[in-house]
Amino acid sequence: MDDSSLIWDDGALVTIDQRELPHEVRELRLHTVDEIIDAIATLAIRGAPAIGIAGAFGVVIATRAHTVDGVVDEAAVGAEADRIAAARPTAVNLAWAVQRVRGRIADGADAVLAETLDMLAEDGRVNRAAATHAADLVQRLCGDRPLRLLTHCNTGRLATSAFGTAIGTLRVLHERGVVTDALVGETRPLLQGARLTAWELAEAGIPHRLTIDSAAAWAMATGQVDAVLVGADRITANGDVANKIGTFPLALAARHHGIPFIVVAPESTRDAAMATGAQIVVEQRPAAEVTGFGTVSTAPAGTPVFNPAFDVTPADLVTAVVTENGVAYRNSDEFTEHGRFARADP
Ligand code: MRU
């Protein structure tokens, strides 16, 4: 694999199977719509931007499969696009990306592929731009000193196509030589922090320590965190932020301790059409993710479970949302615009 975590190769989407990390770097080649939907649903491919791009490649595959003698069966491809967009409900990037390439179906599979490859190329640029703005902000808020940063889940090159968002910000700050510690929440129950972020930070040579999610408030109370950096799956018009379960308590703890809580995400994660976080569909995941640890059962058989994959952090707990277009601060009921902060045209 090169630096991109998503590669188009001879009619297949090639990626790393994130279910197998960190023990094995297993290549996954996806040739069919069903394989792509399964990879997204089972988190072989995960992270809002990554599932969006993977979904778009799914539409490429569907368009190829439903083209006979150069004529596209648009209804059939549209039905497949609907299925792909529904593979996971919370991250708006999936529906956004599928919608974007949908506009090219009538022009044929090559046009859908070209649009998808554009999106793939944009993703790395967008992430680096957002991460650079976020790094500037962190240094403005925290001052010119060594930094200890806390992050949650995985927002790196695995969760995007390249570079990452919150982890991208850690990369930029590390390039500037100011990161002394990245505290990584393990991210129960699927351990994206322990399995994926610790792997990516080690790969990038960024100093880090893994901790249990419930240690975060105590780390802040004992002066070990200068800022919290997280990604997002959907940011509603009022600034509420859906992200991996466990993000909301980080924002509460950060507010209590007066620590900046910064969300780094592409514009494609902003959902201007959704008024508030109350409307976000939060994915519920299988009970087995909570009642066991790997193959070992840790709860009595049949224990009822509450297993939301995401939570929604109210806008007033968010210090800033940072995208490729710049930084927006929360200011009473309005975002005050610092730089351009309008939804980028697709
Ligand atoms: O369930 P996951 O692993 O797909 O959840 C991912 C997250 O919550 C990430 O923080 C978010 O998608 C941003 S990735 C740049």
ipTM of this complex: 0.99
Which residues line the pocket of ligand 1, CB cutoff 6 A?
43, 46-49, 91, 153, 155, 159-160, 165, 192, 231-233, 243-244, 309
Contact present, 158 and 200 (Cβ < 8 Å): yes
- What are the CA-CA distances from residue 142 to residues 121, 154, 222, 239, 258 (Å)? 32, 23, 17, 23, 11
pLDDT score, position 328: 77
Question: Percentage of the chain with pLDDT > 70?
Answer: 94
Ligand 1 centre to CA of 309 (Å) is: 9
Identify the CA nearest to 79 among candidates 58, 53, 110, 49. Answer: 58
For residue range 190-246, list pLDDT tens digits in order. Answer: 999 999 999 999 999 999 999 999 999 999 999 999 999 999 999 999 999 999 999
pTM of the model: 0.94
Contact present, 163 and 131 (Cβ < 8 Å): yes
Ligand 1 centre to CA of 310 (Å) is: 9
Q: How far is CA 119 from the centre of its chain?
A: 15
Between CA 146 and CA 24 the distance in angstroms is 34
CA angle 263, 59, 266 (to 5 degrees): 15
Flag whether 46 is marked binding. Answer: yes
For residue range 298-307, list pLDDT tens digits in order. Answer: 999 999 999 9
Ligand 1 centre to CA of 91 (Å) is: 8
Question: Percentage of the chain with pLDDT > 90?
Answer: 91
Q: Count CB neighbours of 234 within 10 A.
A: 28
Flag whether 246 is marked binding. Answer: no
Contact present, 116 and 59 (Cβ < 8 Å): yes
Flag whether 125 is marked binding. Answer: no
